[in-house]
Structure formats: structure tokens, C-alpha cells
Chain A
Amino acid sequence: MDFDFSDEQEQLREAVHKWVGKAYTFERRRAASIAGGFDAAAWKEMADLGLTGLLAPESLGGMGLGPVEAMVTIEELGRGLVMEPLAQSLVTCAVVSAYGSPQIQNDWVPKIADGTAIVVLAYQERAARYHLDHCDSKAVQVPGGYVINGVKSLVTVGDLADAYLVSARVNSVMGLFLVERLSSGVTTRGYGTQDGARAAEVSLKNAPATLICANGLQALEHAVDIGIACTCAEAVGAMERTLEMTIEYLKTRKQFGAPIGNFQALRHRAADMKMQLELARSMSYYAALKLNAPRPERRAAMARAKYQLGVSMRFVGQQAVQLHGGIGVTDDYIVSHYFKRLTQLEMTFGDSLHHLAEVSAQMQDSAGVFA
């Protein structure tokens, strides 16, 4: 039982922290947001730092690191409100490495790892909400592979990505496939999301696909669980910065002749925000450290973590805006952008109610020893 970071992990954090502070300014983010919600140059810079290959095996050009390194990295990106979807690369790298054939691994993992290919999850459908086993898309075997018909929603940078990991049913069993965006039968409609980033609807009409894993639910659950751990880490970074800005504001903003941070109602709110941040950080650690646990334990842990994180990020985001007063609800001031990002993160990979239901359904009779 040990919550210390290794020297290497601290160095990684420091490197990412430096890049974010120097390169990823609010002005740059805003410009990228207006230009469509994805900054290709920033992506390249992150790739040059090796971040896109963090979880990929060294034999395939990655850094071969683990969940704690991913957490440390993404926390820092969260602090800087970085919207380029590194987590998607970490997830798809890990999933293709774990479930893909040697050939698919060789074809795709090095490209995802060095950032030249962006591969993202395309599993959400209009009627599925957050349920991973709900899938209306269908795959049919054809000579040389499969073709898929269906529509996937909210695909992260879906009109820019090079390929997708797509869930689709072969008869009644859901498989996980790789589909390239430039293949025939793939059309996209891109749009901005509430947090300033980008997503797309992806329509597949007899789109050629390569099977990654016949037990697609198992692979998709694994993918989403890595995504949840990443989302938790990002939210911790974003909440940490949000609280810092709020504290700074409480110390400097004066009303009634005193800094508003002198008033007990606001001081207690700040203490409550700190509570939510530390609960969230604790559960983000928990998520990262349970990511390699056996499936049922891993799933239960991610549901617990995402529930706590969802509750925390909603509270911290809302209260940060409230404590900033009028300036908190403007587009000009950065705190509203943190709030919107936190809101979106709560609704990514399952919101709080969804995960509460998961915790409730999987609840064991015996509390035992949690750790």
C-alpha cells in the first residue's frame, strides 16, 4: 500500500506540466475551438513528447507504461484544459494491443503510438445512452472481412480521425471492428461539442471492417474502463485548477470593503470544494490502480470511481461558477470553460446516475476489505 509516485512518474508529470504551461494557452485553445475543436499542431507536440504511445508496448513503438503514468499525464492535460483527445489514443492503443491480431497490431499500434494515426472509439448509438451492450449496428461477413451498417454518435473527432473501433453485431453477438474513415460507405458529420472540442456522427453503409475481437463486449468494456480511468484523471486535474482559480478569486475580489474570501459562507463552500476534490483524487487513484484487476473487480471499481468523480465534478464546477459571481457566467473568463469541460466529462463514459445504478447492481453483500 503506497501512494507515492516514482521519480520517473514525477518527471513525466513535470514534462507534461511544462508543455501545457508553455504551449497550451487559453488563447490557443480558444482559437482552436473556433477553428473546429482540434489543434493538429498541438496533437503533434503531444505526440513528440511520446504521450500518444504511453500505453503501447515498446516493441510496437510505444513507451510501455501503465495506468499510473497515464493518470499522471492526463491529470496535467486536465489542468490545462487540453481538449485534444489523448485518452482516445491511449484507449485504442491498449485495446488493439490486447485484442487485435499480430497483423492489426503491427499495422496500427505504431501509427497510433507515434501520433500519425488517430484511432477513436465509435460505439455510442442514439438509443443506447450509456449501455455498452446496446448495439443496433450490424456486421456481415464477406470475402476478405466484414461490412458494417449502422450509425455511431458522438465519435470523438470523428470527421478527422483515421480509423474507428466500431461495435457491431454479427447475428446476435457483438464484435469489435476497425473501420477506416476513408473507406467506401463511411460518411461523417462533424460538429463542435459543448466544451469546445469536436465530435461527429459516423454513418456506415456497407463499410469494410476488420475484426478486432469477436467478444466485442469484453473488449469494449475494457476500452471504456480505461477511458473512465482517464476521464477521472482529467477531471481531477481540471478540478484542481478550478479550485485554485476560485481560491485566487476569493482572495482578490473585494466587496463590502473586504476580500470576499473573508466571508464564512464562501469559506465553507471552498472547504466543501476541497473535500470533493480530495474524494475525487482518491477515487481517481483507485481507478488507476484497479485498471489491471480481473474484469468483475475492475468494472465495479470503475463504476464506483466514475460515480464519485461525477458527483465531485458537478459540485466543483457549479460552485466555481457561483463563487466567481457574474464573471463566472461569461465566455470571456476561463472558469466557465472549465465548468463546461467538467460537465462534459461527467457525461462521458457514463454519468453519475448510470454508474450509481452499476454500483447498486453489482453491490456485494460483504463490504469486506475494499482495498
Chain B
Amino acid sequence: MDLTFTPEEQQFREHIRGWVGANLPKDISQKVHNALHLSREDIQTWAKILGKKGSLGYGWPTEFGGPGWNAVQRHLFEEECALAGAPRLLPFGPVMVAPVIMAFGTAEQQRRFLPGIASGEVWWSQGYSEPDSGSDLASLKTRAIRNGASYRVTGQKTWTTLGQYGDWIFCLVRTSTEGKPQTGISFLLIDMKSPGVTVRPIIMLDGGHEVNEVFFDDVEVPAENLIGEENKGWTYAKHLLSHERTNIADVNRAKRELERLKRIAKLEGVYDDLRFRDEIAKLEVDVIALEMMVLRVLSAQKTGKNALNIAGLLKIRGSEIQQRYTELMMLAAGPFALPLIREAMEAGWQGDQVAKDAAAFPLGATHCAPLASQYFNNRKTTIYGGSNEVQRNIVAQTLLG
């Protein structure tokens, strides 16, 4: 047992740190460090920088052009990116659809789709959830009917994150109503520019346009876009989830945000209020305990011993922590979290004319502007990706059968 990283791992970390420091645009990291609005360009600029280095698919095996890093190296890469203020990488292409294409796609599909994912050029969206299929995903109804060399797809997907920018969408569709719901689902790749695809925004409680509804009205999809066999899509989708994924805990971002919380608490004069400070201290212990759980899983992955099936716990705890730091940041700002000043959530805002007269209207503290919105927005974390209640069901299943 050893808590320290090996010299090789340390060296790897240093290397990544140096590279990220030199290549992550400062205007982007500034926005991330201050929770300011990230544009499509910001997200894609960073994805393309990584794509050029061959690190966008950093979890990919070498045979598909990935770096072939082990679990610890991937963790260190994620940590260095997070601490440096890199935008979160959207998982839909490199982490979600690519491994399915690698495992179950044809050589032609791999040639066709993987390069665009690896370079960050093609924006992928996820088409899983439907209005009536949330936690009970297998009940999904979007129909795909085979008609010669193509499918005709009709139905509706929802909660499609950043689908307004999507070039392609991978969908779970119903190709059969026979037998159990799980056995009639297929995995289909759909060009979002196809006639009959409509994307409509869902405005979230913080006013942001982050998710969408995607409608399919008799959309023609070439049958060559089917992954694997018809009616086996559920198995393919689950293949992803069967891997222990420590990044679900998002502990690296939590470490960065804990620092930001301390910074805000100091600026707002509550860092020395013991009642408030104790809440930060609790969160710090929570974050360390989460990190130790993550490291335990990584160690088990590295050595293949003492395999730990605690992905559900990581999701529950990680999401609770994300909510807690946004909550404490908002509470740190207190009443000054309440004004809704959208311009202040954009980079470069200098405060408005009224704020220049700070005594009259002390709205100049731009760090306060995004806090309430961020708090509202993060209520999603215990709901998405399998709600925390569903996660508890899964954990209980392993305990009680």
C-alpha cells in the first residue's frame, strides 16, 4: 500500500501539466475558473487542440490511434486538465459512441466515424432519453422500421445536451416490440442534417440553453448506419456502463471548485466565519474521501486485484459534492447572489455604469453573478446519468440481491 504516485507517474503528470499549461488558451481557462459562459467555439477549440495532439480519445487503445494510457495515466490527465481550468470534454463522441463503434462497428464504420471523433471535428450528441423514458430507459418508443436499404425513424428524444450544435446523434431506437423491452432496441447513428430532424431548445431553470428536444419525423437513415445487429442495441449501450468509470465522480473538478469556493468565501468575508468555514471543511473532507475512493478503484484497475464495484457510490457522492459546492458558493455571496445579470456571466464584463458608483449600487463583484445560476443548474447532477435513487437501487441490488 502506497499513497504516492510512482516516479514514472509523477513524470507523466509533469509532462501533461507542462503541455496543458502551454496549449490551453488563457481566455478559455479564465472563463472556466470563473464559471463564465463557454461558447461552442471555446469547447471545440480545446477539443481540436487535444485532437491534434491525439489526446481527445485519451482512453482509446493504440490500435485505434489512442495513446494506450492505463487507468492511472488517464486519471492524471483528467486531473491536470481540470486543475488547469480546461473545459470539460464532452463525452458523447470520444467516450460514449466511439467505444461502441470500436467494439461492435464494422471496419468500414470505424474508418468512417472514428477519425472525426478523434480530431474533434464532428460534434456528436446522445439520443437515449425520451419524454416517457427517463430512468426506465428500456421503455423507449422511437421507432425505426426497416425499409429496404434504410430505416425510417419516427419519434422524439429529449435532454439532448448541446444538441443544437450536433452534427451526428447516436440513438437507441425500437426495432421490435416482441419480447422484453430490452431485446427490441437497436443502436443507430443518424446524421442530424437529415430531412425530418428538428431540434428544439429546452430552456433550463437557470435560463440556459443546454439541452434540447430532438424530433424525428419519418427520417430516412441508411441501414449501413446500424451498429452491430438489429435488436442488440441495449447490450451495446450497456457495454459502456459495464466498465468501471471513475470520471463519473468528477473529483478533479471538485478539487478545483473547492479552491474557488475558498476564494469566493474570502472575497465575501465569510471564510473567517467559523460556522461557514466548518461547512467548507466538511466539503473538503468529502472531496478527499471521494478522491480516496477513486484512487482505490484506479489501483484495482491497475493491478487487477481487489476489483471494486462501486461506480454507483462514485456517481452518488460525486454528484452530491458538485451540488454542495455550488450551494456553498451561492450562500457565500449571500444576497449578492440574487441579482440576475446575464452580461456578468460573459467574459470581459466590466460592470455596468451603475456599478461604477459602488457605494450606490455595489454590483461590481462579477464573481457573484454566476453563482445562483450555477447552483440551479447543478440540480441536474443527481438526476442525470441514472438518478441517484436509481443508483441506490443498483447499490442495494449488489448488497441484497
Contacts and interface: CB of A to CB of B under 8 A. Distances in A.
A binds B: yes
Nearest to B275: A360
A261 B255 CA distance: 37
Max chain B Cβ within 10 angstroms of own Cβ: one of A1, A285, A369: A1
A333 interface: no
Interface string B260-279: 00100000000000100110
Interface string A105-142: 00000000000000000000000000000000000000
Interface stretch (A47-55, A178-186, A221-229, A273-281): A273-281
A264 to B, nearest CB: 7
Contact of A367 (B4, B255, B316, B401): B255
A77 interface: no
Contacts of B302: 2
Given A282-B296, A369-B79, A3 B285 contact: no
Nearest to B254: A367
Contacts, number: 140
Interface stretch (A31-39, A151-159, A234-242, A286-294): A286-294
Nearest to A279: B289
A304 B284 contact: yes
A244 B389 CA distance: 22
A290 B3 CA distance: 8
A328 to B, nearest CB: 18
Interface residues on B, range: 35 or more
B299 A2 contact: yes
Nearest to B280: A363
A200 B179 CA distance: 70
A270 interface: yes
Contacts of B317: 275, 279
A366 B83 CA distance: 11
Given A275-B317, A356-B282, A370-B288, A286 B3 contact: yes
Contacts of A282: 289, 292-293, 296
Given A359-B281, A363-B284, A370-B255, A4 B303 contact: yes
Given A1-B9, A2-B2, A4-B1, A304 B310 contact: no
B12 to A, nearest CB: 12
Interface of B: 1-6, 9, 72, 79, 83, 255-256, 258-259, 262, 274, 277-278, 280-282, 284-285, 287-293, 295-296, 298-300, 302-303, 305-306, 310, 312-313, 316-317, 389, 391-393, 395-396, 399-401
Interface of A: 1-5, 9, 68, 243, 247, 250-251, 261, 264, 267-268, 270-272, 274-275, 278-279, 282-283, 285-286, 288-290, 304, 307-308, 356-357, 359-360, 363, 365-371
